[in-house]
Amino acid sequence: MALLYHFNNVSFSSKKFPLRNPPKYPLCFIKTHSFLNYHAPKVFEEKVEKVSLSLGDSLSKASLLALVSASIFLVDPALAFKGGGPYGAEVTRGQDLTGKDFSGKTLIKQDFKTSILRQANFKGAKLLGASFFDADLTGADLSDADLRSADFSLANVTKANLTNANLEGALATGNTSFKGSNITGADFTDVPLRDDQREYLCKVADGVNPTTGNATRETLLCN
């Protein structure tokens, strides 16, 4: 059976021009100078190369995105709420830490936001810049603690022990309450207290802070 090949509008019959090894590619890709050279034109090769690179690039990006997505889902969920500071990987934010012992520890800028810290022991701890935002510190021991620039906004600090604690520059905005707390020797220098809280604390204020040498009443601007 004769086969008809077309090239540049000229027909060639396999009967007249038999080919022992028929081309593997359509003859539109065969160079004009030789029927035995079955390489694709350079323009076609360049297009194929560009398509291959684009496809490879797309696959690489897709693989990277898949890897990143997988790593996100494999991360321990607790790490998303890890407390800051040098305390380590233990979660301290939004946790029930009732009665936990943090005494003497270095907890600079530690994040205790919204945590339950009832009867927790922070005696002598270094808590510079720590956040107790909206935390419950009822009955907590904060005596001798370094609480400079700590955030007590919206915190419940009732019946806590603040004896000789240094709260210079701490925040106590919102409905922060120190009702029933022992503040003997505590330093409240530059702490923005509500008028009602300042008035209450002045009634029970006494002592001098051993670290700063400031009298508690003076730091509260009591009359």
The answer on pLDDT for 182 being more than 80 is yes
pLDDT at 187: 98
Q: What string of DSSP letters covers 119-137?
A: T-B-TT-B-TT-B-TT-B-
More confident position, 25 or 118: 118
pLDDT > 50? residue 59: no
Strands 10-13, 4-7: pairing is antiparallel
% residues pLDDT > 70 (the chain): 60
Higher pLDDT, 179 or 4: 179
Return the pLDDT at 57. Answer: 53
pLDDT at res. 76? 40
Question: What sign results for the dihedral spanned by CA atoms 181, 185, 191, 197?
Answer: positive
pLDDT given at position 146: 98
The count of C-alpha atoms lying within 13 angstroms of the C-alpha of 103, restricted to the half-sphere facing its C-beta, is 11
Instruction: Compare 29 and 171 and report the one with higher pLDDT.
Output: 171
Region of poorest pLDDT, from 74-88, 173-187, 199-213 = 74-88
Q: Does 123 or 46 have the greater pLDDT score?
A: 123
User: What mean pLDDT is predicted for residues 50-58?
Assistant: 47
Q: Of 49-63, 122-136, 208-222, give the lowest mean pLDDT range.
A: 49-63
* Band of residue 223 on the pLDDT scale cut at 50, 70, 90: confident
User: What Å distances lie between residue 116 and 97, 100, 175, CA to CA?
Assistant: 6, 10, 17
pTM: 0.62
> What's the confidence (pLDDT) of residue 29?
39
CA-CA distance, 23 to 157, in Å (whole number)? Answer: 88
Between CA 102 and CA 74 the distance in angstroms is 30
DSSP secondary structure letters along the chain = ---EEEETTEEEETTTS--SS--SS-GGGS-TT-SS--PPPHHHHHHHHHHHHHHHHHHHHHHHHHHHHHHHHHS-GGGGG---STT-SS--TT-B-TT-B-TT-B-TT-B-TT-B-TT-B-TT-B-TT-B-TT-B-TT-B-TT-B-TT-B-TT-B-TT-B-TT-B-TT-B--SS-B-TT-B-TT-B-TT----HHHHHHHHHH---B-TTT--BHHHHTT--
CATH class of domain segment(s) 78-223? mainly beta
| More confidently predicted of 29 and 126 | 126
